[in-house]
Amino acid sequence: MSLLSIERLALAVPAGREWKTLVEEVDLTIGRGEAVGLVGESGSGKSMTARAVIGLTPPGARLSGRILFEGVAVPSGRALRELRARRIAMIFQDPRAHINPVRSVGDFLTEAMVTNLGVPAREAVARAVRLLAEVGIGDGARRLRQYPHELSGGLLQRVMIASVLAVEPDLILADEPTTALDVTTQSEVMAILDDLRRERGMAMLLITHDLELAAATCDRLAVMYAGRIVEARPSHELTAAPLHPYTSGLLLSRPSLEEVAHRLPVIPGRPVAAFEADPGCAFAPRCAHAMPSCGEARPPFDGTVACVRAAELTLQGEP
């Protein structure tokens, strides 16, 4: 049984008298201890998919499909709050927007342990110091007395990771956890998160636009475009021989340490949201392999790829 199962998830938000679809027909599973990367350009629906798992959807949003945790539908109300407090935790993109600026780092780290786990206050402080050390922050006792504005973005993101590890959840939802950090700090933070996740046997859904980062960190990758998953495969298989033209375009547009490129290939046009997509394949207007029939009907996702030409195209090395 999968730890998390998302079945035909669709999410729409009100826009005046109309509804704008942001996510549609998403199927995704995550096993215990498994790391899955959800990759795509901005507006593809990655973050909305993750937030839907724990009920953090926009006000008035219309949700359909099924989200199962250990085979049981994710609840609402108090039961959902308990699930978020103990079993599923989220690392947000911008820690400064999600850590109370008027409370100390120590308050932030120990509150969940004391309130949700019943850990005595003194023991919670000692555990918080150990957690800070594990995420690469020394002099933990002093750091607990500091406030968020006294820490750099990289340190704050490590504090956010420590707060998640404090309750030892079964599943971590990491929403662009390194976007606001410089490249060196990104690498350090992701290495720490991945190592600690593996040590504790936690599963992770990593939301990112960085396909290379996701491939280096995750067991499987799912690529999203216009609110739908267009390809989902083991990381090494997907990066070695992508099946969908969009995946191929993302891989080719990244810089390489082995090859010198005077100009990187780019995917023409701009990404579209689900509500902007044409009735056919949403990627067809930007696809070099599109045929007239691609604009007629949305290609179904067969669990691996959503492209009617996937079987005949050899995409490795093509623009």
Q: What is the pLDDT of residues 221-274, one digit of tens each?
A: 999 999 999 999 999 999 999 999 999 999 888 766 566 666 777 888 899 999
pLDDT cut 90: percent of the chain above it: 60
Task: Write the single-letter amino acid at 202.
Answer: M
Does 126 or 311 have the greater pLDDT score?
A: 126
Residues recorded for the chain: 319
The pLDDT of 178-186, averaged and rounded, is 74
pLDDT band at 85 (very low <50, low <70, confident <90, very high): confident
User: Parallel, antiparallel, or unpaired: how do β-strands 203-208 and 171-175 relate?
Assistant: parallel
Q: Which of 120-129, 172-181, 240-249, 250-259 has the lowest mean pLDDT?
A: 250-259
pLDDT computed for residue 256 by the predictor: 63
Per DSSP, the three-state class of 151 is coil
pLDDT band at 94 (very low <50, low <70, confident <90, very high): confident
pLDDT computed for residue 182 by the predictor: 75
DSSP element (H, E) containing 114: helix 105-117
pLDDT band at 288 (very low <50, low <70, confident <90, very high): confident
The pLDDT of 118-140, averaged and rounded, is 92
The pLDDT of 176-182, averaged and rounded, is 77
Per DSSP, the three-state class of 36 is strand
Residue 52 DSSP one-character state:
H
pLDDT computed for residue 313 by the predictor: 72
The pLDDT of 204-229, averaged and rounded, is 93
Residues pairing with 153 in the sheet: none
The pLDDT of 16-35, averaged and rounded, is 94
- Would you state the torsion angle of the CA atoms of residues 136, 47, 316, 311, taken in this order, to the nearest 10 degrees? 140
pTM for the model: 0.90
Q: Is the pLDDT of residue 317 over 50?
A: no
Residues pairing with 229 in the sheet: 224
Domain positions in the chain are 95-168
pLDDT band at 173 (very low <50, low <70, confident <90, very high): very high
Q: Which of 82-86, 102-106, 139-143 has the lowest mean pLDDT?
A: 82-86
For residue range 3-23, list pLDDT tens digits in order: 999 999 999 999 888 999 999
Q: Is the pLDDT of residue 316 over 50?
A: no
pLDDT computed for residue 165 by the predictor: 87
pLDDT computed for residue 314 by the predictor: 59
Per DSSP, the three-state class of 15 is strand
pLDDT computed for residue 319 by the predictor: 38
The mean pLDDT value of the chain amounts to 89
| Rounded distance between C-alpha atoms, residue 54 and residue 173, angstroms | 9
| Rounded distance between C-alpha atoms, residue 139 and residue 150, angstroms | 14
Exposed, middle or buried: residue 11 (CB in 10 Å: 0-12, 13-18, 19+)? buried
Question: The tokens 């109309």 sit on which residue?
Answer: 18
User: Parallel, antiparallel, or unpaired: how do β-strands 35-39 and 220-225 relate?
Assistant: parallel
> Which is nearest to 40 in space by CA: 180, 244, 236, 181?
244
